[in-house]
Structures are given as structure tokens and as C-alpha cells.
Structure 1
Amino acid sequence: MEKAEGREECNAKLKGSTAEFPLTIWEVAMAFGFVAAFAIGLSGVYLTMPASDYSFLKLPHTLEDLQILRYHLESYTSDYTLQVLVGYCMVYIFMQTFMIPGTIFMSLLAGALFGVFKGMTLVVFAATAGASSCYFLSKSIGRPLILSVWPDKLSFFQAQVAKRRKRLLNYMLFLRVTPTLPNAFINVASPIVDVPYHIFFLATFMGLIPASFVTVKAGLALGELQSLSDLYDFQSIAALFLIGIVMITPSLLSQSKS
């Protein structure tokens, strides 16, 4: 019954939002404002680096791109640690904010450059900040986009959130730990289905730790990776699902009692 009501509510929002798309001038200006802020920050980092050939600087899309980037950045990391850290965080947050694929390569790079503990801390911080940035941007201008791109998935997500409102943190942790729903979708959809930010933040911060550890640790042996499929073998995926089941169990028990 609750599931049907959730879908009806989402469908009502779908019908009522067609007039909101495309984005208004104000919403487009806000999106460009986000881009401009990142561009200014990255320009500041670039201007503080020594004069050199930075043609190697580009978003990695393959393991080969990543290995080239790691090779060049290693020589800068020890002498210009702050600039590399700030630049890394800004790029990661930018990619998360605008749902640009490839953050897994950035996580591998953190492990290769900074080691497991520092790399994981950096990734969890940048990923949480980027997810939060995406959350607030979506809260302001994301409804027309997600309703036009993922209407069915949003309807499902909204029904699940409504059903687990009393144990929402457990459910959000489950989604973060397991690959049930894409992280990019969770970031942009959460404010649309009224997931409170404090729950979104806690679930993101804690839920990203297990997968971040696996990826960052793999970055230590970057030269040995043949493909991204090597990152998550059956045991790794099973472990993540086990952690996720433990996190969602209180929610399931609460439902069975009610």
C-alpha cells in the first residue's frame, strides 16, 4: 500500500514538473556559477605550480591514462603537496557535483600517490564533499533533470525511502555500501525524495569507507592492474553486500514488527 502511494506521489510530481523543464535562466546561471567557482579555484592551483609542461594533466579514462598521470604527479607531490591536494580535491568534487564518470580512477590515484591511510582519508573527504555539493545543486535545479532522465528509478527510490522513513539511515548506508543504486543517482535524487541532509551526509561519509579502502589499496599496485574488473572480485563484492545487509537489518526488523 505504501509502495503504491509512493509511486502515485512521484507520478504526481512528474506530471506537475513538465513545465519546469527546460531550466530557467536563473537555474542555468546557478549551474554556470558552480562551474566558474571550480574553474577559478583550479586556475589558482595551476598558477602556483612551477613553470613546466602540463600537457599530461587530463581526466583519466583508462588505466593507461592513470599510470601516465601518476608517473608525472609523483615528482610534484613531495615538493608541492598542498597544491596537489587542493587540485585533487577540487577535481574530485567537480566530477561528483556534475556526475562526471571516472572518480574510481581518482580513487586509485590517491592510493598510488599518498598510500592507504592518507589516500582513503582524502577520497572519503572529497567524495563526501562532492556528493554534498551535488545534493545541494540538485535541490536547487535538479528536479527537471532527474524526472526526465530517471522517472522509474526515482519512483522506486521514493517508495523505498517512504517505507523506511523510521530507519532511513540504515537504508541509505545499505545503498552506499552496496552497488544497488549508482552513487551519482543517490546524490542527485536524495533531495528530490526528501532525504534529510544530515542522514545523507552520515550515510555518505560512513558508507563510502569500505569501497574506498578497496579502491585506494588497489592503487598501491596500480602497475599490476589489467582492468577495473580486477578491483572487485567475488569476495570483495560479497563482503560489501554482507556489510550492507548488516546495516539494513534494523530497518527490516522494524518493518516486521510494525
Structure 2
Amino acid sequence: MMKVKASWSSSYSSNVLVMAAPRNLVNDSGRQRDEENAKEDSPMSKKLFGAKLDGKFPLSQWELVASLSVFLLFSIGLFCIYLTMPAAEYGKIKLPSTVSDLRILKDHLATYAKDYPAQFILGYCSTYIFMQTFMIPGTIFMSLLAGALFGVIRGLLLVVFNATAGASSCYFLSKLIGRPLLSWLWPEKLRFFQAEIAKRQEKLLNYMLFLRITPTLPNTFINLASPIVDIPFHVFFLATLVGLIPASYITVRAGLALGDLKSVKDLYDFKTLAVLFLIGFVSIFPTILKRKRTYE
């Protein structure tokens, strides 16, 4: 669910992802290059990566109309929900972009959430899912806000529910218009992700859990690329629902001490990242064990 996984380079992502699957890359490098060349010449690869980086906007007119229609539909629904909510005693609020903004927002919303809990939760969930669906930055502040206003248990349930719902909406949106867009924006990253998924079909759920738990790949890219590389929705959904729990717990719990938090970067220090990677490697341990037995 979390968006702390922002920009990333091909070399870093490649190294970390390959580490997730034990493989003798030195001995198998020639064979791997042959396999990748064969995939590039395959009909599926041509279909997936046929878009040329010629500077033209990749979406067709129909795809552009479809995406705008979905965005308009979600926006109208969100606006209607806001119209039904009781008026607040303070002025207009804005989505926070810093921890300082979040503290101000929390102070404004604390009484409102206590007086109108059902309406507030509806508005909160709608906003979170909207942001997650259309990849609007700031959901990490929404997760911190959940911890500050609702505590760890209720906050965690809210965040995991919203993050999973929003990621699922993004999955289906990408299934509708994502193929040409991702092939245009990140062709090499998408090709690499497709190759990694193809090698792990037997233990795909374990691998997806690893990606969700650890900050190996940005959640936004996973949401967009999963339907393009033919990850089944039930695998995507279950990996998202379970895999986002550890990071969500860290963020929600940090919301309890919002006054002591200086920056969102403080959420993920070396110790926290080490714990997440440890949990992630536990999720792929069955895959490692099975491969070891196969090689023996």
C-alpha cells in the first residue's frame, strides 16, 4: 500500500530482484541471455513491447476517452460523498504534503472524526481509494493519519482495506489502458518484470508477497504492471492484502507519535528495512527450498 517506494533504477531493481531467487548467474549468464533474446522475438514479447519510443502519446483515442471516463466517474462519486458529509467548523482543508501539514490536518479532523465517525470513515476511505487508484502521491500521509486518529488496530484495518481496494482498482484500470502506457514509459523495467514472473509461475504468490513486503519495487509499478504480465487477480489480491500488513503496521504505529516524527524518511531506517526484508525472505523460503531440492 505504501508509496515510500518512489523512484528506482534498473540496475538496483535488477540486483535486488535477482537476489530474491537463488541462481548461479555466472554460470547461467549465457543461457539467460539466449532465453531473453528468444522472449524478445516471441509473439507475446512483440505484443507487449511493440510500442516505439517515438515521443508520441501511447494511448489511442478510445483508451484516452475510457481512462478519462473512469476518472470522471470516480471524481463524481467522491464529490457526492463529500456533499453528504456534515459541514466542518474550519475552512478548506488540503491533502498534506509534509509532516507539518499532517499535524495541522490531524488537529482539525480529530473532533470531526469523533463527532461524525461513520461519515468521516466513508470520506476517508473514498479519498484513500481514489488516490491509490489514480496513483496520486500522499497515501502514506493518509496512513499516518489513520494511526493518529484511530489507533493501531482500527487504523491498520482501515489502511490495509483501502490500500487493497485502491490497488485492485488500479489493477483493473491498468488492464484497460495500461499496456501501451507502461510499454512506452518503462519498457526495460516491464520486460525484466515479465521475465522474473515467468520464472516463478509455480510459486508466484510467494514471490508477489516478497515484492509487497519489501521495498524492492514501487507499489505503483506493481499495481500497473501486474495485469500486463498476466499475474492472476486472485494472486495479486491475496499478495496485496497480506503483503501490505507489515509496512502498514509500521506507518500506522508511527502515526501515534506524530509529534515526534520529523519526516516520512524517518519511518524506514536501516533496522526497519532489515525487518521487512527478513519477513520478505521468509515468504520466499518455500521457493528457495524447492529449488535446492530440485538441483540436488
Equivalent runs, 1:28-177 vs 2, <5 Å: 28-52=64-88, 55-177=91-213
What is the TM-score when the length of structure 1 is the normalising length?
0.93
Match of 2:59 in 1: 23
Q: Which amino acid aligns with 2:256?
A: L
- Partners of 1:147 and 1:30 lie apart in 2 by 18
- Show CA shifts across 1:206-235 (max 9, x none): 000000000000001111101112212221
Q: Which moved more, 1:31-40 or 1:144-153?
A: 31-40
- Partners of 1:30 and 1:65 lie apart in 2 by 34
What is the TM-score when the length of structure 2 is the normalising length?
0.81
Aligned-pair identity in percent equals: 61
- Partners of 1:232 and 1:77 lie apart in 2 by 28
Q: Does 1:241 pair with 2:280?
A: no
- State the Cα distance separating 1:15 from its structure 2 match: 4.6
Larger radius of gyration: 2
Match of 1:216 in 2: 252
Instruction: Indicate the SS of the match to 1:142.
Output: helix
**Aligned pair partner of 1:13 in 27, 33, 47:** 47
- Partners of 1:12 and 1:182 lie apart in 2 by 25
Q: Does 1:188 pair with 2:224?
A: yes
- Partners of 1:8 and 1:112 lie apart in 2 by 52
Q: Which moved more, 1:65-74 or 1:48-57?
A: 48-57
The unaligned stretches of length 5 or more in structure 2 are: 1-30
Cα 1:6–1:174, aligned 2, differ >3 Å: closer, same or farther? farther
Q: Does 1:204 pair with 2:204?
A: no
- The number of aligned residues is 258
Q: Which moved more, 1:229-238 or 1:201-210?
A: 229-238
- Partners of 1:48 and 1:42 lie apart in 2 by 10
- Partners of 1:62 and 1:166 lie apart in 2 by 42
Contact 2:132 2:163 in 1 (8 A): yes
Contact 1:17 1:144 in 2 (8 A): yes
- Partners of 2:210 and 2:291 lie apart in 1 by 16
Q: Which amino acid aligns with 1:168?
A: L
Cα 1:8–1:99, aligned 2, differ >3 Å: closer, same or farther? farther
Match of 2:261 in 1: 225
Match of 2:286 in 1: 250
- State the Cα distance separating 1:51 from its structure 2 match: 3.2
Contact 2:88 2:112 in 1 (8 A): no
Instruction: Indicate the SS of the match to 1:16.
Output: coil
Cα 1:6–1:55, aligned 2, differ >3 Å: closer, same or farther? farther
Cα 1:120–1:165, aligned 2, differ >3 Å: closer, same or farther? same
The unaligned stretches of length 5 or more in structure 1 are: none
- State the Cα distance separating 1:53 from its structure 2 match: 5.6
- Show CA shifts across 1:87-138 (max 9, x none): 1111111111111111111100110111100000000000000000000000
- Partners of 2:49 and 2:83 lie apart in 1 by 48
- Partners of 2:39 and 2:181 lie apart in 1 by 20
- Show CA shifts across 1:143-168 (max 9, x none): 11111111111111111100000000
- State the Cα distance separating 1:38 from its structure 2 match: 2.3
- Partners of 1:114 and 1:143 lie apart in 2 by 38
- Partners of 1:8 and 1:237 lie apart in 2 by 38
